[in-house]
Structure 1
Amino acid sequence: MRFIFKTSYAQDIRLAKHGGHVFWYSALLLALLAAPWLIDEYWLAQLTFVLIYGIAGLGLMLLTGFTGQFSIGHAAFLGVGAYTEAVLTNAGWPFPLAMACAALLAAAVGVVIALPALRVKGIYLAIATLAFGFIVEEVLARWESVTGGNAGLSLGPPAIGDWQIDSSAGFYFICLVIAVAATLGLLNLLRAPTGRAFVAIRDSEISAQSMGVYLAWYKTLAFAVSAALTGLAGALYAHKLMFMSPEQFDIIQSIDLLLLVVIGGLGSVHGAFLGAMFLIGMPQVIALGKDHLPDVIGQAPGLQTLVYGLVLIGFVLFEPMGLYGRWLKIRTWLQLFPFYRRGMFKRQKSFQKSDRLK
């Protein structure tokens, strides 16, 4: 069991709390840098998708996990970023500038949806974001002169001047650099006063407002930053697929993103990437398991949806803290063994508002 004796405030807000963090995260970074030479091209492509979905998960995690604003229309921001990147790249814009514009336009759209969302919360906010997702999908399908409509829109690999990045390894390194930068940026935001205001709003809006937190400003800012990160992931997503259609950014994609943060672990940066690994890896596991199932089950068209639903129900009932929460329990068990208490992580009883008045 490691005990950290803190002697300064700077030590308290340091990203790496102790030497173990420095060692393990450095080892992880080295493994990711060596991945193109250690795994074949197919698995490198899957790892690239994990990084892209991890960036999108960071955006939704900031909004839902840290600010407490529920959204089931986040695929709309992914689509805005992807189509902006495609249109600007096809117009001859350099890759970095087009990607920055994709993030900025997605952030602007996030501000637009945040303004009416300030008046609602809970299930009503979810319905508002769901309606927004349908609107964006319809715009992408109907605005044929720009988006190509239902026929789709294609684009080439990213290019910086005359340098075209058309190899899988080159694009993987771009995604890795952006994922690391987005993660560090989010971690610094969360330990700043802005991030603490986000968490205060999530825990109690009334308490946060009584402490001087301007709810409208911080909720709008959370939507903008979340949409910008998701739009950034959408720009990378567009270059990875090289073809887009409005159906790729429908309600199913939004539910996948929500599934990502819930299963990964709400309220944790690690959970965004753990959830992305689940989202990308689960179809591979299902495909491998089909060979060992009877044909009536293995060839059923709704098998993947059924498995996703059962996994989500299992996590909600037995592990609401997600994959990262399970890892925290395993780590604590290893550190305290044989003195680990079984009820250490037992959830406290929750009361309805009417019960608190009794």
Structure 2
Amino acid sequence: MRYVFKTSYDQDINLARDGAQRSWYAALLIMLLGAPLVLSDYWLSQLTFIYIYGTVGVGLMLLTGFTGQFSIGHAAFMGVGAYTEAYLLSHAWPFPLSMLVATMLSAAVGVVVGLPALRVKGLYLGFATLAFGFIIEEVMSRWESVTGGNAGRYVPPPSIGGIKITGSAGLYFLCLACAIGGTLVVRNLLRAHTGRAFVAIRDSEISAQSMGITLAHYKAASFAISAALAGLGGALYAHAIQFLSPEQFGFIQSIDLLLMIIIGGLGSLHGVYFGAAFLIGMPQIISITKDVLPPAMSQAAGLQSVLYGIVLIAVVMLEPTGMYGRWLKLRTWLELYPFYRRGMFKRQRSFQRSERFR
């Protein structure tokens, strides 16, 4: 097992723990850049959706996993970004500018929604964001001149410098760049004093306030950044599916996003992409296994929802740290083998939630 001895403060706040971790990240980046050369268009599109949901999930993880603000209406921010992108492109706006406006408008809406967070928290905040999601879904259904209503709206293909981004490879690289950029922004934010204030608010609002942290300012900032990333992901989602309808950003989508970060590992940016891979890969696994299941099970309505519920219960009861927590245990087991001790991963009491992923 490798131990890293830190001798300076700069070493403590580096993006990567050591040279080995930087090498692994570089190898992963090379693999992702070379994926279009070896994967078919179908699997490339699945990876693209993982990047899109990962971008949205990083923002939701910042809000819920690091700031402790509960949101079950996050798909509404995706809808704002998606419809803003479709509307502006249909009026001949440049693609980079339309993406920027979609992101900023979602952030502004996030600030408005974040205002109830100053007064309520926990379950009551969840109800407030749920009500906001219903309101936005109704607006998308009724405002036909902008959204197309229930008839839907076509999304024009993006173009940069007169060159249209068509085909699965072009969209793949665009979503990969946005996912990496969004993750680096949040990762750097968490290393700064703002991120430390978010974690302090999550652990104890009273203690954070006693240290001079302005709750209203940081809660609103957390909602704004989270909504901005959701709007960016929504704009990318609009280009991926090329046709928008209000039900795509409803309550079920919000639950899927929340399920993604819980199963991936609450409080971990790596866990977001584990959860996104689960969210996109689970329907594929179900469709493959339907052929070997009895007809009474394979043709039953709601099979996917039942399996999601079973997985969520199993994660909460057996592995609260999610898929990323399980990966950390497996990695430690491989590093220590054959000196693994059975009680090494026994649950221990954490006095603060910020100690869980140290």
Amino acid at match of 1:254: S
Aligned to 1:190: 190
Q: How does 1:112-123 map to 2 (within 5 A)?
A: 112-123=112-123
Partner residue in 1 for 2:333:
333
**1:45 is matched with which residue?**
45
Shift of the alpha carbon at 1:348?
A: 4.1
Distance (Å, rounded) in 2 between the aligned partners of 1:127 and 1:345: 36
Alignment of 1:43-192 (within 5 A): 43-192=43-192
Does the 8 A contact of 2:116 with 2:125 survive in 1? Answer: no
Q: CA deviation at 1:312?
A: 0.5
Q: CA deviation at 1:209?
A: 1.1
Q: What one-letter code is carried by the residue in structure 2 that aligns with 1:127?
A: F
Partner of 2:14: 14
Contact 2:67 2:222 in 1 (8 A): yes
For residues 26-54 of structure 1, give each alpha carbon's deviation from its aligned partner in whole angstroms, at most 9, with x where no partner exists: 11000000000011010000000000000
3-state SS, counterpart of residue 212 of structure 1: coil
Q: Please give the alpha-carbon distance, in whole angstroms, between the structure 1 residues aligned to 2:156 and 2:143.
A: 21
Which amino acid letter does the alignment assign opposite residue 180 of structure 1? I
Answering whether residue 243 of structure 2 is matched by residue 243 of structure 1, we say yes
Name the aligned partner's letter for residue 146 of structure 1. V
Counterparts of 1:334 and 1:50, CA distance in 2: 27
Name the CA distance, whole Å, in 2 between partners of 1:350 and 1:171. Answer: 43
Structure 1 equivalent of residue 253 of structure 2: 253
2:355 counterpart residue number:
none
Q: Which residue of 1 aligns with 2:33?
A: 33
Distance 2:336 2:210 in 1: 40
Name the residue aligned to 2:346.
346
- Post-superposition shift, 1:346? 3.2
Shift of 1:162: 1.5
Cα distance between partner residues in 2 of 1:137 and 1:314: 32
Conserved in 1, the CA contact under 8 Å of 2:319 and 2:325? Answer: yes
Report the 3-state secondary structure (helix = DSSP H, G, I; strand = E; otherwise coil) of the residue aligned with 1:14: coil
Which residue in the other structure is 1:282 paired with? 282
CA distance in structure 2 between the partners assigned to 1:346 and 1:108 by the alignment: 44
Q: CA deviation at 1:339?
A: 3.8
> How many residues of Structure 1 are paired with residues of Structure 2 in the alignment?
351
Aligned sequence identity (%): 68
How far 1:116 moved relative to its partner?
1.7
Gaps of 5+ in 1: 352-358
Report SS of the residue matched to 2:342. coil
- CA-based RMSD of the aligned residues comes to 1.3
Q: Distance in 2 between matches of 1:139 and 1:161?
A: 33
d(CA) in 2 for partners of 1:131, 1:346? 40
Aligned runs of 1:258-337 on 2, under 5 Å? 258-337=258-337
Q: Residues 119-175 of structure 1: CA distance to partner in whole angstroms, max 9, x if unpaired?
A: 111111111111110000000001111111101111121112311111210111111
When normalised by structure 2's length, the TM-score is 0.96
Deviations 1:82-136 (A, max 9, x none): 0000000111011111011011000000000011221111111111111110000
In the TM superposition, residue 349 of structure 1 has moved relative to its aligned partner by 5.7
Pairwise CA distance, 1:350: 8.8
For 2:268 and 2:349, locate their aligned partners in 1 and report how far apart those are by CA, in whole Å.
23
Deviation at 1:294?
1.0
User: Please, what TM-score do these two structures have when normalized by structure 1?
Assistant: 0.96
CA displacement at 1:4 relative to structure 2: 1.1
CA distance in 2, matches of 1:342, 1:67: 34
Shifted more, 205-214 versus 332-341: the winner is 332-341
Structure-1 separation of matches of 2:192 and 2:323? 26
Structure 2 unmatched runs, 5+:
352-358
In the TM superposition, residue 3 of structure 1 has moved relative to its aligned partner by: 1.2
Alignment partners' CA distance in 2, 1:332 and 1:201 = 31
Q: State how far apart, in whole Å, the 1-side matches of 2:191 and 2:342 are.
A: 32
Paired amino acid for 1:320:
P
Letter matched to residue 84 of structure 1: T
Map Cα deviations across residues 292-329 of structure 1 (whole Å, 9 max, x no partner). Answer: 01111101121011101100110011011000000111
Q: Structure 1 counterpart of 2:310, which letter?
A: L
Distance 1:191 1:322 in 2: 23
